[in-house]
Amino acid sequence: MTLLSVSGLSLGLKHHEELLVRDLNLTLERGEIVGLVGESGSGKTMGSLALLGLLPPAVEVRAGEAALDGASLLSGSGGAVHRRTGDITMIFQNARAALNPTLRIGFQIRRVLTAVRGMPRREAEAEAIRLLGRVGIPGAARVARAYPHQLSGGMCQRVVIAMALAFQPQVLIADEPTTGLDVTVQAQIFDLLRDLVAETDASVLFITHDLAAVAEMCDRVSVLFAGQVMETAETVELFERPRHPYSQFLLASLGAQAPERADQGESETADVGVVAEDRGVDFSLPGCRFAHRCPHVFDACNEFPPLFPAGERHHYSCFLGREIPVVTAARS
């Protein structure tokens, strides 16, 4: 049953014509982890901020709808919505920066409990310590009295996750939560997130540029480029049969291989054709945002491509339709 649905969401800078995010479509079911993949500046963070009503003052919603459990998320001007417990929250990339350096850890978790869940102070104090323990922080009581600068990056991210738990969201947006953390810590955070999803039946929108993380964590994934959704599919499907030239380029350039193919000895280094260097996207042009780099570009690409189906729960935004071969060039 669909928990979060975003349709046709478009965002733009105020007083400017061009769109930052264009026709974003996403769905999230209960208990799912969906990945949102793209390079920096592709609009992944911006789109998510829109869902929380936390867009920066310079950005506005131009079109589209977003609803959580049926209730619209976009009503009210950005920032005016006082968020209630049980809906949607977000954790960000730089965890230490996400914590107020002059407030104690325990207090920062406690205030979410008192403000949003109406918990009395005594209870909130105890609950905060319990949550710190739940996210795997040793010596929770001591850490609760500490300040953020005294903790490591990984610990800070756990604290932020504890804050999110205090909020008890139905949907958690995790925006590059492990960038900058070392690999072992990264794995621990992933495990933590997976456990929490299993426990609470919450859904996670996992934003990242790291395809390996996607392979590990996500049930489904959407590929974003310059604010345009290029392809959406189940993870395995995307890795095995990427349809959009951009997805193919991503997978090829990052050397990602679907495990089965590697076993069969076929090189998945696809013959994607030459993808032009990034000269910067011209956001004012109406057509496909990848057109200026796409090796298969042709006339139709001057119009904005709708989503074409490519299989069960697999769509991509490209006029090549079924004409482009599935990418597996056996190298001799």
Binding residues for other proteins (CB under 8 A): 13, 16, 18, 20, 40-41, 43, 45-46, 49, 52, 54, 56-59, 79, 82-85, 89-94, 97-103, 108, 111-112, 115-116, 143, 146-147, 149-152, 155, 160, 163-164, 166-167, 175, 280-284
CB of 158 to other proteins, least distance (A): 13
- Residue 322 DSSP symbol: T
Residue 130 or 145: which CB sits closer to other proteins? Answer: 145
Q: Would you call 117 exposed, middle or buried from its count of C-beta atoms within 10 A (0-12, 13-18, 19+)?
A: middle
Shortest CA distance to 33 belongs to which of 227, 208, 197, 262?
197
The minimum distance between CB 73 and other proteins, in angstroms, equals: 13
Q: Which residue number, 18 or 210, has a Cβ lying nearer to other proteins?
A: 18
- The 3-class SS string of 15-84 reads CCCCEEEEEEEEEEECCCEEEEECCCCCCHHHHHHHHHCCCCCCEEEEEEEEEECCEECCCCCCCCCCCC
Q: Choose between 104 and 241: whose C-beta lies nearer to other proteins.
A: 104
Q: How far is the CB of 162 from other proteins (least distance, A)?
A: 11
Q: Which two tokens stand for residue 146?
A: 């500490």
Nearest approach, Cβ of residue 41 and other proteins (Å): 5
Strands (E), 69-178: 71-72, 88-91, 171-175
Per the structure block, which two tokens stand in for 156? 């800070």
172 vs 215, beta carbon nearer other proteins: 172
- To other proteins, the closest distance from the beta carbon of 138 in angstroms equals 10
CB-based contact 214:177 (threshold 8 Å): no
| Residue 185 CB, nearest approach to other proteins (Å) | 14
Give φ, ψ of 115 to 5 degrees.
Answer: -75, -45
- Round to whole Å and give the CA distance between 78 and 61: 9
**Of 106 and 242, which CB lies nearer to other proteins in the complex structure?**
106
